[in-house]
Amino acid sequence: MERAVIEVRNLVKRFSGKTVLRGLNFDVQPGEFVALLGPNGAGKTTFLRILASLSQPTLGHVRVAGYSLPRESAAVRMRLGVLSHMPLLYGDLTAQENLLFFGRMYGVKELARRIDEVLVMTGLSARRDDLVRTFSRGMQQRLAIGRAVLHDPEVMLFDEPYTGLDQDASLMLDKLLQTVAAQGRTIVMTSHDLARAEDLATRFDILSRGTIAASTSRKQLGRSNLLAFYKKTLAA
Amino acid sequence: MDEILSKESSEHPALRQGEAGTGRSTSLAAPRFLRAVGAIAWKDLSAEFRSRELFSAMMVFSLLVILIFNFALELDISTRRTVTSGILWVTFAFAGTLGLNRSLSMEKDQGCLDGLLLAPVDRAAIYFGKAASNLVFMLIVEAIVLPVYSFLYGINLFHPGLVVVILLGSIGYTAVGTLLATMSVQTRTRDVLLPILLFPVVLPVLIAAVKASSAILAGDDPTSIMPWVNLMLVYDVIFIAAAFMGFDFIVQE
Amino acid sequence: MQAKPTALKALDIASIVLLAIAGYLALIYAPEELVMGQVQRVFYFHVATAWTGLLGFVAAGVAGVVYLVTADEKWDTVEVAAVEISLVFFFVTIVLGSIWARPIWNTWWTWDPRLTTAAVTELIYIAYFMLRAGIEDPTKRARFGAVYAIIGAISAPITFLAIRFFRTIHPVVIGSGDPSAQGTFAMSPHMLVAFFFALFTFTVIFIDLFWNRIRLGSLAGKVEELKLSILQ
């Protein structure tokens, strides 16, 4: 039996008296692409930050890629690629230098070759020696994906990746995310954009008031609308 | 297929189709730590040597401060000798806060601190990397201010002993400063808070640095200089330890 | 809300009574000192408040360490209480010191080790509160506070040692002194009584204020929690 890549049991997160996540349970199998949806303040970003080892659970068990958090967070981070709405890039360095830096931080082997691959994948080879602060938001986000896959992570977390992107940039991001997904990585993405989520993801979980209120897969949805499902869940 | 559950994990088995085996590190913890420290320091220095924003700000600021002291104190030649080390260290202390603030706000603003925290390295590596680059910036500024001061005031500042004192003092200053700057950059008051937090706490090393510098410039014999150097050494060791241990607590959530 | 524990109420009363007695001892019972005159009486309370400030200082450092280790918010409350009390008492010490210094050395302030270190410690405390004021999240505030309290606690003694290499004119009443220190005096039995009673009194006052302040802090914390749960 294949072990779940992400296992979450009874996750509780409290911030100074306020309980944001109440006994969350969540499993993701290898290769799944889960879209985590929900209204603002539902706890999506909080949850993702816990999975990313940036935040610590108050109670409960979390395992990612076979390692438990927060105890074995370094091992988890090695297998994790994160894309946020902030680019997490250094504006005063070139694209190449940014990738060089993160490659070193992750101990990526054959780094030069890997950087070339990533630049080709993200279509930024021509701009490799340009400073990141001259990049448009869309290009920065593409480079950010490059950074996120540089160390060949098993699991990827995307936190509202389409924030601030125009149509063209969003379309490019779509393609990139599809490429990344096709590489067999396990992905959890939070998004406000239901239409996009519907196109990319294989599974849709709705986070409401601190727990997973409902979960459905593309197969289960069939012809019906994700939006309708979403509204119905939240109305309940 | 089974996962290798050891902490010092070796090659992760390729679960997925497609990608050829690429960047999986097999290195042990210690070299990885050092590599991370080096990478962070290299990143800061590269970025700075390109834009030179931080550096020119610290530089110009230092020269202005020295200039202001000149007019504010209106010293004759003999008095100047006695206050030289004081003026120098006040200048370094204030220019240092500029550097520290800028170095840490750069991480905070772009959300880059998260990027660093996501890397599979010890938090202490982030501390040492930042502290190292902060130290280098400070030393470079000091290396330029000294000759300029010498030139402007006709006082010879080229003593090997002085270099040692400046090094020890700067190490102590940046060791605590990096920790406190990481804190202050996460508060509402940000830049303003750093000098308020830093100066009371860095006082011992400043006192020792000024006294030792004066003694060296006056040509005093080593017995009066050594206690101050010892104090700086003690301070540096204690605070480097305290700072990197405390660093963990101020970056976690 | 819980009522004030009886023990604490008793301590409140005891503190006031002891303070009154200590005042009597210092101002009337103890004889006038030969060289310095009446102003020397300040000394009894001056040392006692310095002692109290020091208690608070140590308590703050310890509380900081314990908080970081246990992550129990209670210790953060203890730490804040300790810093507040120490802040006030060191301030009183400095003021009393100035009152003493003026007639004796003809100056309001001297840059000697003890006084300067007290002043630097005050600045550390003020910085501590400014740091806390700039942070919204209580857990972060507690953590940052603890780290800074520990850094301050390590730094202040080193500051003291550093300044001590300078010459001091502070009276060395207890312990071996620099022979050039002026203003030293030997204490007669009556003076000793006043002195030690003042130390005792202020220790009691410290415990009383400390307990009250911690209680106040916990109650304030509970109020915050109740507020949040109503808002949800």
For residue C60, name the pLDDT band (cuts at 50, 70, 90): very high
Domain of residue B89, residue span: 27-250
- Report domain extents, chain C: 21-27+40-169+185-231
C148, pLDDT greater than 90: yes
Nearest to residue C24, comparing CAs of C44, C10, C48?
Answer: C44
- How many domains, chain B? 1
Q: Is residue B21 part of a domain?
A: no
Average pLDDT value for residue range B13-24: 35
Using the predicted structure, report yes or no on whether residue B213 has a pLDDT greater than 60.
yes
| B7 to A87: CB separation less than 8 angstroms, yes or no | no
Chain B touched by C142 (CB under 8 Å) = no
pTM across the whole model: 0.85
Residue B74 banded pLDDT, cuts 50, 70, 90: confident
- Helix, strand, or coil (residue C181): coil
**C-alpha pair distances (Å), B99 with each of B124, B140, B204:** 20, 11, 21
**Residue B16 pLDDT more than 50?**
no
Residues of chain C with pLDDT > 70: what percent? 90
Write out pLDDT tens, residues B117-147: 999 988 899 999 999 999 999 999 899 888 8
Query: Taking the mean position of all CA atoms in its chain, how far away is CA C108?
Result: 21
Contact between A52 and B118 using a beta-carbon 8 Å cutoff: yes
Please, how many CA atoms are within 13 Å of residue A132, restricted to the half-sphere of its CB? Answer: 21
Integer Cα distance of C147 and C124 in angstroms: 12
Confidence of residue A187 (pLDDT cuts 50, 70, 90): very high
Query: What mean pLDDT comes out for the span C20-32?
Result: 80
Decide if B223 touches C, using CB distance below 8 A: no
| pLDDT at C105 (0 to 100) | 76
> Contacts for B235-241 with beta carbons within 8 Å, 24 or more apart?
B235/B172, B235/B204, B235/B205, B235/B208, B235/C158, B236/B168, B236/B171, B236/B172, B236/B175, B236/B205, B238/C154, B238/C158, B239/B172, B239/B175, B239/B176, B239/C151, B239/C154, B239/C155, B240/B171, B240/B175
Residues of chain A contacting C224 with CB distance shorter than 8 Å: 17
Say yes or no for a CB contact (<8 Å) between B25 and A77: no
Res B127: pLDDT: 95
Mean pLDDT of chain C: 83
How do residues B185-195 score in pLDDT, each as one tens digit? 999 888 889 99
Mean of the per-residue pLDDT values of chain A:
87
Q: What average pLDDT does chain B have? A: 83
Smallest Cβ–Cβ distance between C131 and the set B183, B234, B238 belongs to: B183
Q: Which of B164-168, C178-182, C212-216 has the lowest mean pLDDT?
A: C178-182
Region B241-245: what's the mean pLDDT?
92
Q: Using a CB-CB distance cutoff of 8 angstroms, which residues of chain C are in contact with residue B201?
A: 124, 151-152, 155
> Cβ contacts of residue B234 below 8 Å, gap of 6+?
C158
Contact assignment for C139 to A18 by CB distance below 8 Å = no
Closest-approach residue (CA) in chain A for C73 = A16
* Residue B23 · residue A108 · CB < 8 Å: yes
Position B106 scores a pLDDT of 84
Cis peptide leading into A70, omega within 30 of 0? yes
pLDDT range class, residue C168, cuts 50, 70, 90:
very low
Alpha carbon separation from B67 to A117, B60, B61, B132 (Å, rounded): 53, 10, 10, 29
Tell me what percent of chain B is helix, strand and coil, each rounded to the nearest 5.
80, 0, 20
Residue range B75-100, pLDDT digits in tens? 677 777 778 888 899 999 999 998 89
Predicted confidence at residue C64, as pLDDT, reads 94
Residue C180: is its pLDDT beyond 50? no
What is the CA A233 to chain-centroid distance, rounded? 23
> Pick from B193, B211, B242: which is nearest to C154 by CB?
B242
Residue B114 lies in a domain: yes
Would you place residue C183 in the very low, low, confident or very high pLDDT band (cuts 50, 70, 90)?
Answer: low
Do the Cβ atoms of C191 and C30 come closer than 8 Å? yes
Whether A21 and A47 have beta carbons less than 8 Å apart is answered as yes
Average pLDDT of the residues in C75-99: 92
Are the beta carbons of B58 and B98 closer than 8 angstroms? yes
Pairing of strands A203-208, A211-217: antiparallel
In a domain, residue B168? The reply is yes
Cβ neighbours of B24 in A, within 8 Å: 109, 151-152
Q: Is the backbone of residue A53 left (phi > 0), alpha (psi -120 to 50) or beta? A: left
pLDDT classification of A2: cutoffs 50, 70, 90: low
Strands A18-28 and A6-15: antiparallel
pLDDT category of residue B112 using cuts at 50, 70 and 90: confident
pLDDT of residue A188: 93
Exposed / middle / buried, residue A156 (Cβ in 10 Å: 0-12, 13-18, 19+): buried
Test B117 with A87 for CB contact under 8 angstroms.
no
Q: What are phi and psi of C133, to 5 degrees?
A: -65, -25
The residues, ordered by sequence, that sit 6+ positions from C116 with a Cβ below 8 Å of its Cβ are C159, C163
pLDDT above 90 (res B50): no
Tell whether the model's pLDDT for residue C77 goes beyond 80: yes
Least confident of A40-54, B14-28, B203-217: B14-28
pLDDT at A186: 92
- Considering the domain boundaries, does residue B3 fall inside one? no
Q: How far is C7 from chain B (nearest CA, A)?
A: 37
A87 contacts A141 by C-beta, under 8 angstroms: yes
For residue C167, pLDDT over 70 is answered with no
pLDDT at A74: 87
Residue C184: pLDDT band by 50, 70, 90 thresholds? low
State the pairing for strand pair A6-15/A59-64.
Answer: antiparallel
Whole-complex ipTM: 0.85
Backbone phi and psi for residue C36, each to the nearest 5 degrees, phi listed first: -95, -20
